[in-house]
Amino acid sequence: MAGIYIHIPFCKQACSYCNFHFSTSLKMINDFPDYLIKEMSLRKDFLQHQTVDTIYIGGGTPSLLTADQINRIIDSCTTYYDIIDAPEITVEANPDDLNTKYISDLLSTPINRFSIGIQSFHDIDLQFMNRAHTSAHAASAIQRVQDAGYTNLSVDLIFGNPTTTDSMWEYNLNKFINLNIPHLSCYALTVEEQTALSFKIKNSLIQPIDENRIGSQFEKTMQLLVSEAYEHYEISNYAKKGFRSRHNSNYWFNIPYLGLGPSAHSYDGVNRFQNVANNQKYRKNIIQEAPFIIQDILSSNDRYNEYIMTRIRTAEGISIIDIKDIGSRYLSHFTSQINSFIKDEYVRYHAEKYTLTKKGKLFADHISAELFITD
């Protein structure tokens, strides 16, 4: 199996924390599907002999596209790639775009899963993050999507904001649970370079991120959602039974995928590729059929480190058998490094697999870094 990721690089406004590739100029948006479809024709052999079971339309803000544009894009995927009969097809959407008419229009598309960028149910948080919607938009958009008959929904929430107290965060979680949403992607506020958030912190316009607040809110999330029968199947993701994100799971389990659009990444099972992260260059090179992709040839060390980084975050954990397949050198290194984390109860070992304990999940990135090979 394989996946297709489609990057829509347009937003109404820039969120303060976001370093994804996007433009607030919408000049290209009407013609953008033409360039995507042209890229599909140029890369029709990338997934040769692979069957596609997931399509994910992300961004940016895909909900700025019309339903007709989305239909064209998905129809073209079926033209150039071997798509299974019932693929998971996700669209990311902002709450302020999900009015009744737009949702009604989307019923004519094959979209069967929504990922809605809520981020918070508090206006003070949304203003801090420079989101385009309000808390009222958030709740009503979810309700409209559910009323239209969609059951496979995910929302994003961000914890650790300077404006988000622990009681506010608990309200966010309970609001999510009470709305009967089967999937949550939940992220700590991260300071990325070249963002408004980074600028404000460097210039002492706001306080630095409070790591203690991040830790306490992460622990509250684990405690509350697991008690409500959500599976904590990846560090940042929780799902009711049967509602895991199939597309994102492909990333964590080394499944090939094709990335279309400016800045999109691809993986063929051996090496990685990245499209040029500039809308105008992407457009020009697609039209001229000139090179627009950078290839990253992965070494054995790269493959080992990526395996550790992704799999340690999952409920399935790290498999001894998988590491053996990469090479005996890596197994020797891994086993020599992991024992201290087992002793300190950050990692548990069972049935030839290593998984993070509840305590270990707080330090997943640190543990990964300690397990990497850097020479």
Mean pLDDT, residues 115-132: 97
Of 3, 9, 67, the C-alpha closest to 263 is 9
Q: How far apart are CA 96 and CA 341, in angstroms?
A: 45
pLDDT of residue 220: 98
What amino acid occupies position 281?
K
Per-residue model confidence as pLDDT tens digits over 180-239: 999 999 999 999 998 999 999 999 998 899 999 999 999 999 999 999 999 999 999 999
Which amino acid, residue 237?
Answer: N
Question: pLDDT value at position 310?
Answer: 96
Angle CA 17–21–25, to nearest 5: 100
pTM greater than the 0.85 cutoff: yes
**How does pLDDT run across 249-297, given as a tens digit for each residue?**
999 999 999 999 999 999 999 999 999 999 999 999 999 999 999 999 9
Say how far apart CA 70 and CA 82 lie, in whole Å.
18
Number of other residues whose CB lies within 10 A of the CB of residue 44:
13
Question: pLDDT tens digit string along 306-331?
Answer: 999 999 999 999 999 999 999 889 99
Q: Which three-class secondary structure state does DSSP give residue 80?
A: helix
Stated length of the chain: 375
What's the confidence (pLDDT) of residue 352?
87
Q: Name the percent of the chain lying above pLDDT 90.
A: 97
| Summary mean pLDDT of the chain | 96
Instruction: Name beta bridge partners: 93.
Output: 116
pLDDT of residue 374: 86
pLDDT on residue 375: 75
Domains, in order of start, for the chain: 2-252 (3.20.20.70), 300-371 (1.10.10.10)
Report, as an integer, the average pLDDT of 164-178. Answer: 98
What phi, psi does 107 have (nearest 5°)? -60, -20
Band of the pLDDT at 365, cuts 50, 70, 90?
very high
The mean per-residue pLDDT over the stretch 79-102 comes to 97
Measure the CA–CA gap between 142 and 53, rounded to whole angstroms.
26
Mean pLDDT, residues 20-46 = 96
Q: State how far the alpha carbon of 258 is from the alpha carbons of 60, 70, 164, 283, in Å.
A: 18, 17, 37, 18
Q: What is the mean pLDDT of residues 367-375?
A: 92
Mean pLDDT throughout 367-372? 96
